[in-house]
């Protein structure tokens, strides 16, 4: 419009009449939204708290806070403020061939398949920290996140027993072939509770992909971001991060809902799955350790066979395992 006025040397009124334009349209000045300033402040706060999360994750968190925003608006403000998440180069993984991999044995409902794995880190003084994670593959919930200086098969068994008592028994537990997971202690626990262990192929961590994906988030958002004074400090930070992850952190594969919110919409098909298993005996302490008759003997099997699995009636835990 301005160009036509200047080229023909005509007043605005006549040019608007000829071109069929309203004069008010030409004189309109855009007014910034009242909510943009407050929204931008909140985005800055979230980006400072979670520097590894992109605009879609920030949009999901804003919605959880009650903001009525869409992804396009958040993206516009994201670009306007110059927020960036460093792009990381990921190595290409080839498809595994194990029948127990995530592509061949998929979780079909809540508490159908749990995956367990270890990840390692160090505290401020360089002392080792060994983290055990248990994740529900269907709801993506972090069912447990434990950290110790070291953890044996007995420690893993105690964590699982506590989870069975508080949450119920899953149908399958997927893991790699680490000594803590293939030991006789874990196999006897599976026999007692009716759980089927899904051991992936050796040297194929991608077949336990949900655990690997969870550990990448854990490493990126907690282990690489925080300094742990000692194991007690690590335990406290693990509890806080797990609560944040389950209840506040949007998950892209769940429609940007936090895992706990998504899990609330799912009916667990297993629940307290005690029928067909010996979980009731395990709780009372009446079940004797079962020798493994279907697995070949290994050094870990021999070590587990020598250690008696003693379950106390009060706590329902394996207290004397080695």
Environment class of residue 184 by beta-carbon count within 10 Å: exposed (0-12), middle (13-18) or buried (19+)? buried
Mean pLDDT calculated for residue range 243-270: 86
Query: What local confidence, expressed as pLDDT, does residue 103 receive?
Result: 66
Range among 6-10, 221-225, 297-301 rated most confident = 221-225
Mean of pLDDT values over 9-37: 80
Say if residue 303's pLDDT is above 90. Answer: no
Give the chain's length: 322
Which range among 176-185, 274-283, 288-297 shows the weakest confidence by mean pLDDT? 288-297
Mean pLDDT within 44-52: 90
Please give the residue that has the higher pLDDT: either 308 or 248: 248
**Model pLDDT, residue 247:** 94
Of residues 272 and 224, the one with the higher pLDDT is: 224
CA distance 258 to 245: 7
Question: How many of the other CB atoms lie within 10 Å of CB of 151?
Answer: 17
State what percent of residues in the chain have pLDDT above 90: 56
CA–CA separation, 117 and 215 (whole Å)? 9
Tell me the β-bridge partners of 174: 115, 198
Q: What gap in Å lies between CA 206 and CA 202, rounded to an integer?
A: 11
Mean pLDDT, to the nearest integer, of 154-166? 96
Per DSSP, the chain holds a count of helices (H) and strands (E) of 14, 5
């Amino acid at each position: 419009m301005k160009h036509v006025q200047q080229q023909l040397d005509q007043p605005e009124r006549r040019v608007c009449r000829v071109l069929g334009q309203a004069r008010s349209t030409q004189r309109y000045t855009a007014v910034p939204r009242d909510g943009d300033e407050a929204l931008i402040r909140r985005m800055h706060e979230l980006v400072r708290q979670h520097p590894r999360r992109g605009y879609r994750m920030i949009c999901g968190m804003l919605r959880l806070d009650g903001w009525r925003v869409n992804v396009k608006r958040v993206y516009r403000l994201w670009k306007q403020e110059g927020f960036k998440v460093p792009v990381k180069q990921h190595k290409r993984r080839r498809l595994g061939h194990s029948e127990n991999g995530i592509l061949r044995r998929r979780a079909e409902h809540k508490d159908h398949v749990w995956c367990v794995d270890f990840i390692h880190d160090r505290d401020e003084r360089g002392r080792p920290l060994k983290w055990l994670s248990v994740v529900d593959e269907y709801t993506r919930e972090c069912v447990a996140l434990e950290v110790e200086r070291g953890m044996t098969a007995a420690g893993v068994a105690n964590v699982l027993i506590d989870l069975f008592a508080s949450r119920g028994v899953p149908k399958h537990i997927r893991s790699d072939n680490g000594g803590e997971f293939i030991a006789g202690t874990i196999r006897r626990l599976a026999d007692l509770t009716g759980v089927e262990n899904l051991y992936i192929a050796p040297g194929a961590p991608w077949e336990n992909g949900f655990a690997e994906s969870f550990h990448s988030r854990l490493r990126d958002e907690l282990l690489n971001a925080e300094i742990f004074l000692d194991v007690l400090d690590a335990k406290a930070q693990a509890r806080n991060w797990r609560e944040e992850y389950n209840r506040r952190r949007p998950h892209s594969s769940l429609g940007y809902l936090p895992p706990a919110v998504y899990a609330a919409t799912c009916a667990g098909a297993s629940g307290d799955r005690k029928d067909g298993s010996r979980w009731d005996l395990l709780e009372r302490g009446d079940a004797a350790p079962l020798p493994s008759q279907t697995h070949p003997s290994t050094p870990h099997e021999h070590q587990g066979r020598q250690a008696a699995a003693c379950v106390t009636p009060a706590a329902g835990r394996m207290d004397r395992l080695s």
